[in-house]
Chains A and B, each alone.
Chain A
Amino acid sequence: MERSWWWKLALYGAAIVLAVLYLVPTVVTEEKNLPAFFQKYFKKRIQLGLDLKGGLHLVYEVNIEKAVSSKVDRLANEVDDALRKKGADFTVVRTGRDDIAINFKVPGEAGKLDDELLKPFRRDLDVVSRDPATGTVKLKYDSDRVAEVEELALRQAIETIRGRVDAFGVAEPTIIKKGTDIIVELPGAKEKDFERIKSIIGRTAQLEFKIVDDGSDYMKKVAAAVSKSGAITVAPESWTEKHQGTQHEDVYLRVKEKDKDELTKFIAGLAGDLAVPNDREFGLELMSPREVNEGTPDKYYRTYLLKKRAGVTGEYLQNAEESWDEMGRPEVAFTMNRQGSDMMGKLTGENVGRKMAVVLDEKITSAPVIESKISDRGRITMGGYGDPFKLQQEVKDLVGVLRSGALPAPLKKSFETQVGATLGQDAIDKAKMSMGIGALMVILFMLIYYRVAGFIANLAMTLNMLFMIAILAAFEASLTLPGIAGLVLTIGMAVDSNIIIYERIREELRLGKSPRTAVDAGFQRAFWTVFDAHVTNFVAGIVLYSYGSGPIRGFAVTLLVGIVTNLLTSVWISHWMFAVLVNRRGTVKSTLSI
């Protein structure tokens, strides 16, 4: 008993010290006030959830219906065009979301819609039925393609949302996929920005190909106007067109990633002589330095002067895939559909040697040089000789963007919660008060009813709170309003465990046992009851967690953590404290204040 007593003291003492260490950053709210030791080892703290801090919680579903039906609309138009060239008299009717029916005036002409004509559509359209009597041919959009559209649209939607959210500079945004829904949480977003944020996030992504206007006099003028002392620097670039050997020279502006605002401000401020021409616009691309010099080079933004009108948009892309060039470097190969081929051929044919910017959502993802006329097939080389693995990742990302960009899938908001910061503060105050009153009542009750034992129970309960909050801090859990309710309920549970044990000890004492045996018997007999009770609550907690949307999950987390710490404090630690009470060195007490 003696030796294990000391071991336990050391163990519990260590746990308490650790818990206190984890709590310090949460108590010291300003990170800069934190001593260096904590900055290094114990930086994690409890985050306030959205309902307490204020912010936005949005759930979007990707409107696959709309994406698929526009795609089928387009296919119907293409079939219509192709068939009209063959000189048939017919009408095209769109029946369901995936269905196209073609009614021929003269039933005999239905044969004109043959396999040869349908060849370009064989991946997309299946012939469902041909009715020679009425001259009706029914086509259906391939179901595999629908699934593909869904997957790509979802992936692209998440990518674009992430890009857009990052632009707001909200701390710790959460963007997760749940089924076909996308959940966006922006704790701490400003109330006045809610409307703007929502409208920007919910926009449909646009993929465009725009030609870069290099070597313009306008750009030279702008470059000359850049002040030498600011964050913006002017850089020249040049490249040679492969076949003709034409030289291209250009200047562009660049800033370090963190100084992006300065660049956008500079561009927005261009006026008078320097005003951006009507048919031109600036585009920005975030660049990773190609050669790694000494130290870690910063990422930077660079400008392109673009022709405003998009030559081709993503709608005309048929497919994009990963591929490798002669040097074995990863690149993107894409194919255009018929209409797209014509437009792309025209655009690139006129601009060989220039750069073509791939613009997603008004941001340039890459701007390769057009090496030759592209019609139905093109390649985008990523350039750069950096980390091949990273390069490959970039290629994969771009393929994802291109493939799904071919189909605009609008986002549909299905769930929204926005909480202003003031409401959050009010909620915190009220929650704190109700929690304080509840806890005070429990503490008083335990003291009056169980005296010294009640004091032990209160001590155990305090330790329980300490451990709970420390664990929440260690996991950087967010504390929500229901989470606070969970904390209060844990007090209830702690009280229950203590009451079960104490009532048992009392029963043992009534049987005439000595305090020491009664305490041991009480704890031993009550253990399984307490344990079972905790397990069942734990089960309910797990179900809550897995069901959990937002706030409920917060409740479940505190409940689950509380169950574990409560078992530790009210069974083991308080048993140990009782052992100290009834079994002090030399004296064996004959009564117990319980």
Chain B
Amino acid sequence: MAEQQKFFEVIKSGTDIDFIGNQKYWIGASIVLVLVTFIMLPVNLYLHGHVLNWGVEFKGGTQLVVEFNKTVDASQVRDALTAAGLHNADVVKYGSESGTQAFMVTLGSVSIMSGEQAKKVEAAIARVGDASLHKFESSEGGDKIYLRFDKNVEPPTIAAALRATGTETTQIQSFGPPEDHTYEVTLIGMEGEVHKALDAKLGAGTVKAIPSVSSVGAKAGKQLQIDGVRALLGAILLIVIYVAFRFDFRYGPGTIVALLHDAVITVGAFAVTYKEFSLTTLAAILTIIGFSMNDTIVVFDRIRENAAKYRDRKFDKVVNHAINETLSRTILTSATVFFVTLAMNIFGTGVIRDFAFAMNVGVIVGTYSSIFIASPILIWLNEKYVAMQKRQAARPERNVRKPARRDEEEAAET
């Protein structure tokens, strides 16, 4: 036999912290956090008009990164946009390098033709040359409008008439049969409009470039929200099915609650900080669910193993012991992942940063939930189960025990 070896360790072996005995404080803390989340959502709705700071993918709208040649501040940009009729622009500083002046501009609309703008334009072009406008069709957020006249009009004439109203177009072509005299007008994109508005107010050549633009129609955004919730629930369901299959049903509910707990509190972190909740955040939450599950499985695995080994101990002691045994691994892993994502949070950019922030929160919550949420629920369910078994054992004609799981059940009962 080799002599006892010494290791470099953070958590000394034989550590025995009473997690389960103090569970009510921990569960209390979780309930508070979950409540904070649910309180913050309506509070945000009241303060900002949205429950979460939805990214442009979810809420619909246009997001642009604008680089400037000279120093401007956010309020100047906002004012310049308002002057051009682009109201309620959200302007934040983008990037951190010195030397470049860049702002992220988020606008609620995806088209330069807003409802009121459409009315104005319709009135202004009621007559173009000797033709009169019969029908003006524009859809909210559409990048095209359809004009029907009573006689033929040359596209350049229409373009000129529209330009007079401040509406720039990229293309006009006839639509449908020639005797319909209908024209399809493609409007310039939002980036063109923003460029024009900023140059007009802040001086020509102020805008260096608009290197990134993304726009999402309101309908597509709604769809993404629905898909997102569906993906989240789908992932949780699949994972729980796998756990129920690998362990047994008593382990299932604890996992579901723990995963929902993690998802809710991570969303809560975004509600409290009012950071942008984008598609990437959603991906982060799905990853957190995977990681939290990872943690829960490591603990559960040890509980199962120990339950079979120490049949003479009470189940809650077995659980507490298993948590302590795996504590070293739990802390090490969580700390490593936490610091890796923290590095991504500090040194990363844009998307990576959002992702890392969600992961930072999620790693902490996920680790915590496998110890303080999933395990107590497992103990509680086990007690119920044992009580039920005892009642059934009193009626020997209905013994429903499954032989394969006998050993652990017996361990749990004693």
Contact = CB atoms under 8 A, between A and B. Distances in A.
Main secondary structure, interface of A, reads helix
Interface in B327-384: 328-329, 332-333, 336-337, 339-341, 343-344, 346-352, 355-356, 359
Interface string B297-330: 1100110010000000000000000000110110
Interface stretch (A198-206, A275-283, A566-574): A198-206
Given A529-B302, A536-B294, A544-B235, 11 more contacts: A203-B184, A413-B110, A423-B211, A438-B339, A492-B291, A492-B336, A495-B336, A499-B333, A533-B297, A539-B242, A544-B283
Contacts of B189: 195, 198
Given A500-B298, A537-B293, A412 B144 contact: yes
Contact of B294 (A433, A434, A509, A533): A533
Contact of A528 (B184, B301, B356): B301
B176 interface: yes
B283 A423 contact: no
Contacts of B265: none
A227 interface: no
Interface string A431-450: 10111011101100100111
B213 A418 contact: yes
Contact of A536 (B297, B343, B356): B297
Contacts of A131: none
B290 interface: yes
A315 B287 CA distance: 51
Given A415-B216, A533-B294, A438 B343 contact: yes
B271 interface: no
6 contacts: A203-B173, A420-B211, A423-B65, A500-B333, A503-B328, A540-B289
A204 B239 CA distance: 46
A191 B171 contact: no
A462 to B, nearest CB: 16
Nearest to A491: B340
Nearest to B348: A434
| B interface residue count range (under 10 / 10 to 19 / 20 to 34 / 35 or more) | 35 or more
Interface stretch (B24-32, B37-45, B223-231): B223-231
Main secondary structure of the interface of B (DSSP, over half): helix
B239 A316 contact: no
Given A434-B343, A544-B286, A481 B298 contact: no
A284 interface: no
A532 interface: yes
5 tightest A-B CB contacts, nearest first:
A420-B211, A540-B290, A547-B231, A414-B217, A438-B340
Contacts of B344: 434-435, 438, 485, 488
B188 interface: yes
Contact of A506 (B7, B173, B219, B238): B7
Interface string A513-543: 1110000000001001100110111011111
A533 B356 CA distance: 21
Contact of B144 (A70, A202, A420): A202
Given A496-B337, A529-B298, A532-B297, A540 B235 contact: yes
Interface string A28-65: 00000000000000000000000100000001010000
Contact of B287 (A195, A489, A542): A489
- Contact size class for A? 35 or more
Nearest to A550: B279
Contacts of B210: 420
B8 interface: yes
B283 A482 contact: yes
Interface string B159-185: 000000000001101011110000010
Contacts of A500: 298, 329, 333
A423 B211 CA distance: 6
A549 B231 CA distance: 12
Interface string A186-221: 000001001110110011101000000000000000
Interface of A: 51, 59, 61, 66, 70, 74, 191, 194-196, 198-199, 202-204, 206, 310, 313, 315-316, 408, 410, 412-420, 422-423, 426-427, 430-431, 433-435, 437-439, 441-442, 445, 448-451, 481-482, 484-485, 488-489, 491-493, 495-496, 499-500, 503, 506-507, 509-510, 512-515, 525, 528-529, 532-533, 535-537, 539-544, 546-547, 549, 551-552, 555-556, 559, 590-592, 594
Given A422-B211, A430-B352, A199 B171 contact: yes
Given A412-B142, A499-B329, A539 B239 contact: yes
Nearest to A51: B351
Given A416-B213, A549-B279, A427 B349 contact: yes
B212 interface: yes
Given A426-B95, A495-B336, A539 B170 contact: no
A559 B293 CA distance: 15
B176 A70 contact: yes
A417 B214 contact: yes
Given A441-B339, A441-B340, A537 B290 contact: yes
B325 A507 contact: yes
Nearest to A512: B1
A551 B355 CA distance: 12
B177 A537 contact: no
A394 B282 CA distance: 45
B398 interface: no
A547 B228 contact: yes
Given A495-B336, A499-B333, A449 B8 contact: yes
Contacts of A491: 340
Given A51-B351, A426-B349, A594-B7, A532 B246 contact: yes
A192 to B, nearest CB: 10
B13 interface: yes
Among B217, B220, B227, B287: residue with most chain A CB under 10 A: B287
B342 to A, nearest CB: 9
B35 interface: no
Contacts of B230: 547
